[in-house]
Amino acid sequence: MSRKIIITLVVSAAVGMTLMVVYAKTSATRSRPLAPASQTLQGSGVNIEDGPAQMDLASQPEALKLSRRIGGNRFQARSASALDVSGVITTGTSQQSIQITRRRTVSGESVKLFTPDSSIALEWEASAVISDSSKIPNAEKSAEFERLIFDSVDQFILAQLRGASYYVVARNVRPDNAPDNYSGPLWDVVRIEDAAVDEQKGSQSKWRLYYLNRTTGLIDKVVSESQGQRIEASLSDWKKQGDELSPSTITWTSNGQTLMTFTVNTVSLSAKAAQ
């Protein structure tokens, strides 16, 4: 047998064995069952035992970043804790004590507003209409309550669960007409927009612009538009309440005029949200 034939046979045999090994590995991979979600998501920073609703919180990087910045353990726990906030709403010369309870739901969030003279003044959920069991006027419901619901950290983080879209409009934004030597805060501006507007279920404003401070990572202001009127909510005096950061004052203005101020007295987390 010639040397050329021998070399050809050896090469052919080597190629054949290689193909057999590749085929065997491919078959083993195809026949291997898929790893359960609890394994495939390990190390991702997501609480995998919470199911689809919790995993969706990681779909928007800016929202996930903020939840971690404020120490949002209530967004990570399997049975999400309810956030209870008490304070005073000031409109002009009128003041009203209120308590707000917020909790995460599968479709986003449930918000209840309590007043001293009623058990539940107003209740809102992304999948249901606003229910009114008090004597609060409709004008107050559509304005004050809407601002308290949507101009908040919770809505920035949880709006994704009801299908709202997130879009980074700009980064390193300075105030309008800032001088060349400006040394104040810069913001990343994120636009959140709902697919459809339902005045009973959602905000009268289809979109909101959230200004996240580049230095602190916290929301400094929220801009929206309602009935042709531009509304700006300023979130200030961030303080640590328990294990989480929370704004102590929220002031709403339009055309330089103060519309409403919410001064926070206490912030606490319940052990477990009501189901």
Give the angle 160-185-102 at the CA atoms, nearest 5°: 35
In the chain, % of residues over pLDDT 90: 41
Averaged over 189-202, what is the pLDDT? 72
Q: Count of CB atoms within 10 A of residue 152's CB?
A: 25
Averaged over 225-236, what is the pLDDT? 91
Q: How confident is the model at residue 236 (pLDDT cuts 50, 70, 90)?
A: very high
pLDDT of residue 189: 97
DSSP output for 169-198: EEEEE--TT--TT--S--EEEEEEE-SS--
- Looking up tokens 């927009």 gives 193
Q: In CATH, which of 1.10.1060, 1.10.10, 2.60.40, 2.50.20 is domain 48-269?
A: 2.50.20
Entry pTM: 0.74
pLDDT digits (tens, 9 = 90+) for 44-78: 333 333 444 445 677 899 999 999 999 877 787 56
CA dist., res. 234 & res. 98, Å (int): 19
- Residue 129: pLDDT above 90? no
Which residues neighbour 22 within 8 Å (Cβ) at sequence distance 6 or greater?
none
- Residue 99: pLDDT above 70? yes
3-class secondary structure for 87-136?
Answer: EEEEECCEEEEEEEEEEEECCEEEEEEEECCEEEEEEEECCEEEEECCCC
DSSP 3-state of 268:
strand
Q: How confident is the model at residue 17 (pLDDT cuts 50, 70, 90)?
A: low
Within the chain, residue ranges assigned H as helices are 3-31, 37-40, 52-55, 61-69, 138-140, 146-150, 153-158
Across 8-12, 123-127, 152-156, 169-173, least confident range? 8-12
Taking alpha carbons only, the member of 87, 86, 103 closest to residue 95 is 87
pLDDT of residue 14: 55
- Neighbouring-strand partners of residue 209: 191, 223
Averaged over 137-160, what is the pLDDT? 80
pLDDT of residue 200: 52
CA dist., res. 156 & res. 208, Å (int): 9
Q: Residue 83: enclosing H or E segment and its boundaries?
A: strand 83-91
pLDDT of residue 6: 52
pLDDT of residue 244: 86
In the chain, % of residues over pLDDT 70: 66
Averaged over 197-210, what is the pLDDT? 71
pLDDT of residue 13: 58
- The answer to whether the beta carbons of residues 114 and 120 sit under 8 Å apart is yes
pLDDT digits (tens, 9 = 90+) for 20-51: 544 444 444 443 333 332 332 233 333 333 44
pLDDT of residue 9: 52
pLDDT of residue 228: 84
